[in-house]
Amino acid sequence: MLDTQDTPGAEAWAAPMTTARLILADGTEIAGYGVGATGYAVGEVCFNTAMTGYQEILTDPSYAGQIVTFTFPHIGNVGTNDDDIETVNMAARSGVLGCVLRAPITEPSNYRATRHLDRWLAARGIIGITGIDTRALTGRIREHGMPNAVIVHDRSGQFDYGKLKSELSAWPGLEGMDLTREVTGGQTFVWDETIWDWPTQSYGRQAEPRYHVVAVDFGIKRTILRLLANEGCRVTVVPATATAEEILAHEPDGVFLSNGPGDPAATGEFALPAIKTLVEQDVPVFGICLGHQLLGLALGGRTAKMHQGHHGANHPVKDHTTGKVEITSMNHGFAVDPTSLPAEVEQTHVSLFDGSNCGIRLKDRPVFSVQYHPEASPGPQDSHYLFKRFVNLIRERKGEPTEPERA
């Protein structure tokens, strides 16, 4: 068991007894104080280095099957609200199974807050543990990789270790696991909400769309849809299992392949035929995150599990098409192997942290994708230009003049 007694300030938050545990697959047991939902969940532990946007992270469907360790210590200090939720399919669970926090959750101090994070976590069924040396846990993940673990919260402080460890050993891990069916919506619907307007303190509506985009929902985020609508698009959202025929029946000007959780190779077993057909039809295609990985597979490449993944809002990426470096928001544990890509596929973006692939495009078709989250939720807005790049491909196909990517 890791000892937190020597952690600076731990004595200031000491409680009569600990009420939560994080048990790693190697048997390491970490004690802390439970917040949010009670019960237990088994998943993969990753760490996120973002300093802001914890609510967007906790509602990102791409985190299905994972327990998020926040490296920033003060999580919950601005509370929660109903505007910063990224989940589109409200019938599905949040995505995140649990969260690991350094400091106890304080009372919220923000004019937009409507609910304390503790109560919000409980309402969404997310188990949390506080009082953890998150620097030590992050260092462990960096050295040994993302471990499988069980997180448990019981107010009595009593735990059935035999059952917990049995459940943990039985969990197969994310490799080979398709999780998109857990987070995708079951119905087709139209989206017209645009980005946040600060003067009115509300989201806008796209009343006069010029283009029609079909978005394939592998676990799509609301901000992605808002930015597509903001670029003049009427967006029709279809389930992850939609066939190429069903997508093309909507007569789209372009197709968007969304982010999502799990192993892209597993999701590709049903998704690749549709993507290959769309590429062959010469329809403009834009993919993000899982959508990027699936496009890479459809074009003949391979994907692989990463050692520690990329999760945060401070990842530098170079766009080789412009020569510029942007700071990006990332959340992925799998990556496209650039050495596996055929000659007709160009690598457009590269991580400046580790050189991993962050973007591709077809040389002879209006098809491209990026590994990171250009919608910047959470994160800097350096990459918003990619939505303009996508719509410019639609304009070119229609014979219309394009617009500058960056304002």
Q: Domain locations in the chain?
A: 10-170, 180-397
Residue 90 buriedness (CB in 10 A; 0-12 / 13-18 / 19+): exposed
Residue 198: the pLDDT is 86
Q: What is the pTM of this model?
A: 0.94
Closest listed residue to residue 217, CA positions, set 234, 233, 239:
239
Domain 180-397 belongs to what topology?
Rossmann fold (3.40.50)
- For every residue of 173-189, DSSP letters joined together read -STT-B-HHHHS-SS-E
Known catalytic residues are 289, 373, 375
**Which residues, at least 6 apart from 22, have a Cβ–Cβ distance to it below 8 Å?**
29, 30, 32, 45, 67, 100, 129, 132, 137, 149, 150, 151
CA 403 to chain centre: 29
Residue 11: the pLDDT is 43
Question: What's the average pLDDT block by block, 10 residues per block, for the chain (407 residues)?
Answer: 37 67 97 98 98 96 97 96 91 84 95 96 97 98 98 97 98 98 94 92 94 98 98 98 98 98 98 98 97 98 98 97 96 98 98 98 98 94 97 98 86
Q: What are the b/e assignments for 240-249, b being 16+ CB within 10 Å?
A: bbbebeebbe
The C-alpha atoms of residue 17 and residue 289 are separated, in whole angstroms, by 41
Residue 290: the pLDDT is 98
Residue 94: the pLDDT is 67
Contact (CB, 8 A) for 386 and 358: no
Q: How far is CA 291 from CA 42, 89, 120, 245, in A?
A: 25, 18, 30, 18
Domains 10-170 and 180-397 belong to one CATH topology: no
The C-alpha atoms of residue 33 and residue 144 are separated, in whole angstroms, by 25
Contact (CB, 8 A) for 67 and 99: yes
Residue 201: the pLDDT is 87
* Three-class secondary structure assignment of 145-162: CCCEEEEEECCCCCCCHH
Q: How far is CA 358 from CA 90, 117, 289, 378, in A?
A: 29, 33, 9, 18
Secondary structure of residue 59 in the 3-state scheme: coil
Joined tokens for residue 14:
């000491």
| Relative orientation angle of helices 222-230 and 385-397, to the nearest 10 degrees | 50
The C-alpha atoms of residue 365 and residue 146 are separated, in whole angstroms, by 37
The C-alpha atoms of residue 398 and residue 392 are separated, in whole angstroms, by 10
Closest listed residue to residue 359, CA positions, set 295, 274, 305:
295
Residue 3: the pLDDT is 33
Q: How many CB atoms lie within 10 A of CB 147?
A: 20
H/E element holding 286?
A: strand 285-288
The length of the chain in residues reads 407
Please name the amino acid found at residue 226: R
The C-alpha atoms of residue 330 and residue 358 are separated, in whole angstroms, by 10
CATH of segment(s) 10-170: 3.50.30.20
Q: Dihedral sign for Cα 126, 127, 128, 134, please.
A: negative
